[in-house]
Amino acid sequence: MLINAYSKAVYNIALNFFADKDIAADVTQDIFLKTYHNLEKFKEEKNFTAWLFTISRNYCIDYWRKNKKYFLNNQELDEKISIPDPTPEDNLIRESEIVELRKKIAQLEPELRIILILRDIQDLSYQEIASKFSIPEGTVKSRINRARLKLAQSFIGGEQ
Amino acid sequence: MIHKCKEIESLLSAYLENELSPEESVKIAQHLASCPHCLNLKEKIEEILPKLSDLQEEVPFFLKNRLFNIPEISEKKKFAKIIYFPKWLAAAVGTIILFLNLFYFTNIFPSVNREMHSVVGSIETFVVQTGGWFEKIKESKDLLLFTFFNKKTSESKDEKMNSDFNLNKGLTKGGKNG
């Protein structure tokens, strides 16, 4: 029940946060393990989704901080290795675009990244994000704006 | 980048989502018409935003399998926690038992050996005494049960005898009448 209802949302947070399918799978598993272990503590909480999303956000940010060197090295390597010319097949172009977009998102600050994922990828409203993470709606809006600007700037910088 | 650009950038998302007042929107539109830098940013955001929704993916089958096994794994871990016994504690207990045996069965340290025998002796006395107590308790319990049940059976016997007596009396009376 729990897995059917929430695995897609959690997996997509991890996948777009780390831009790596293997890490996303491991992190998703860890998040659900953590959730099961702490289910007894949940009784006091009001909203399960908010609780699960907070666990996911905290876990992703912790995981990224613990392995920061690895991720930064990988980003540098990715920048050095040129992206191969797109093949004529549409699906392959789309696939390479997705990979590039994910890599650019993974370069944002963790707090901006998580909010961009929830708003623009998972289509949550500002209000929902604010209530899930117990932060003011204005903060969510300004973070989303910063995240979008940085993402756009990273593409413009790459083009120049 | 001029100061105005910073101000416009901070409002770009709200502008794209039509959350600004008409006056503010006009002000931004005017700036965008005259500033290629801000216009470029705005167009890039507009280009990226629809693509972001394509980044959602289904959970891979292998991961779903792993996730469905989690409750089982956590149960096993819980059980492992219950029977968990720290290694250092086990080593300490083992060493103490070993030394106690050594002191008890050998005479390396006579004073310790004597002390241990006296301790064991007092434990034995205690065990014998408590055994005696247990025997006494058991006896008194048996006695209590015996008296209770005996009383009950004697009562039922009396009742039976009375009913038999009444029955016989009735029969003899009937016989005489007949």
pLDDT score, position B14: 92
Candidates B40, B45, B63; nearest CB to A25: B63
Nearest residue to A17 (alpha-carbon basis) of A79, A108, A81? A108
Question: DSSP code of B178?
Answer: -
Q: Enumerate residues 6+ apart whose C-beta is below 8 A from A106.
A: A16, A17, A18, A19, A71, A75, A113
Contacts of B12 in chain A (CB under 8 A): 145, 148-149
| Residue in A16, A97, A149 closest to B9 by CB | A149
| Residues A54 and A135 sit within 8 Å (Cβ to Cβ) | no
What mean pLDDT, rounded, does chain B reach? 81
Q: What is the DSSP letter of B86?
A: -
The residue among B39, B48, B69 with the most chain A CBs within 10 A of its CB, best to mutate, is B48
Residue A123, chain B, CB below 8 Å: the answer is: yes
pTM for this one?
0.64
- In tens digits, what is the pLDDT along chain A, a chain of 160 residues? 788 889 999 999 999 999 999 999 999 999 999 998 888 777 665 688 888 999 999 999 999 999 888 888 877 776 666 555 555 555 665 778 888 899 999 999 999 999 999 999 999 999 999 998 889 999 999 999 999 999 999 988 766 5
pLDDT of residue B167: 66
Burial level of B128, CB count in 10 A (0-12/13-18/19+)? exposed
Closest CB from B13, B56, B67 relative to A3: B67
- List, for residues B54-107, the tens digit of each pLDDT value: 888 999 999 998 998 887 666 666 555 556 667 888 899 999 998 888 888 888
pLDDT at A59: 94
The predicted-structure confidence for B102-145, as pLDDT tens digits, reads as follows 888 888 888 888 888 888 888 888 888 887 788 888 888 888 88
Nearest by Cα to A56 from A18, A103, A22, A20: A18
The residue ranking higher by pLDDT, A79 or B29, is B29
Please count the residues of chain B.
Answer: 178
Per-residue model confidence (pLDDT) at position A94: 73
Torsion on CA atoms A9, A12, A14, A18, rounded to nearest 10: -160
**HEC secondary structure over chain A:** CHHHHHHHHHHHHHHHHHCCHHHHHHHHHHHHHHHHHCHHHHCCCCCHHHHHHHHHHHHHHHHHHHCHHHHHHHHHHHHHCCCCCCCCCHHHHHHHHHHHHHHHHHCCCHHHHHHHHHHHHCCCCHHHHHHHHCCCHHHHHHHHHHHHHHHHHHHHHHHC
- The shortest C-alpha distance from A17 to chain B (Å) reads 11
Please report residues of B whose CB lies closer than 8 A to that of A122: 56
CB pairs under 8 A between A and B: 93
Per-residue pLDDT band at B178 (split at 50, 70, 90): very low
Helix (H) or strand (E) holding B108, with range, is none
For residue B172, the model assigns a pLDDT of 61
CA distance linking residue A20 with residue A98, whole number of Å = 12
